[in-house]
Amino acid sequence: MSGGLRGGAAVFVSLFLSACGSLLPSEHTEVLSPFGDYLDTQSRFEQAAIDKTSRSELFSLGFDPLAHGNGRMLSFVDVRLLFIQPNIPIDYLPDGLVKCLEAKDRCIGYAFEFSKTDTQRVGSFWADVLNFNKKRELQGWSFKTVFVLVDDVVVHKVSSGEPNIRRVEVKNNPLGPLQGAGEFFSDQLK
């Protein structure tokens, strides 16, 4: 084999092996919302003012389960079950929840969960394909919120979430493709 042909083969092999990393699968998961990111969602949440924001104003902020989806409509009973615990005295509750308890059927709630995550498989293509080592990197954000309204005015709101999700999952299988073969064969015998 001539030197030029050998050099060309070496370049081809190195390009092929370096491109193999891009052959690993990836995932993108997004709960569709009118918000661009966590900070946008939180900013709109903060614009909803207790005892001032109406239902239509809340909807215009993007928290509309009918127009944008991904929201649950809560009845008075759902709100009560979500926030009221038997061992918590009524005077410990926020004023808005007490108003909700007193209003009964005039009280409703909206619960939303928004998220966006990207998952990338990283590392060696061959180690991944042959099941020796699988590494996944997960990045994204999630935001959960509940609004409680009495007579179409927000009386209570609460939020939680993860503004900057960063996770790495590593799975090592010293036996590679043979790892789990015993389980596979025992399942086939059942």
Selected residue with higher pLDDT from 87 and 41: 41
pLDDT of residue 94: 92
Per-residue pLDDT tens over the stretch 130-178: 777 788 888 889 999 999 999 999 999 999 999 998 988 888 877 777 7
Selected residue with higher pLDDT from 30 and 97: 97
To 10 degrees, the CA torsion angle through 51, 55, 56, 59?
110
pLDDT of residue 181: 61
Distance of CA 155 to the CA centre of its chain: 27
Sorted by sequence, the CB contacts under 8 Å of residue 101 that are 6+ apart come out as 80, 84, 90, 93, 107
Per-residue pLDDT tens over the stretch 43-77: 999 999 999 999 999 999 999 999 887 899 999 99
Q: What is the CA radius of gyration of the chain?
A: 26
**Residue 184 confidence (pLDDT) above 90:** no
pLDDT of residue 129: 73
Asked if 24 and 130 count as a contact pair (C-beta separation under 8 A), the reply is no
**Residue 8 confidence (pLDDT) above 60:** no
Distance of CA 182 to the CA centre of its chain: 35
pLDDT of residue 84: 85
pLDDT of residue 56: 96
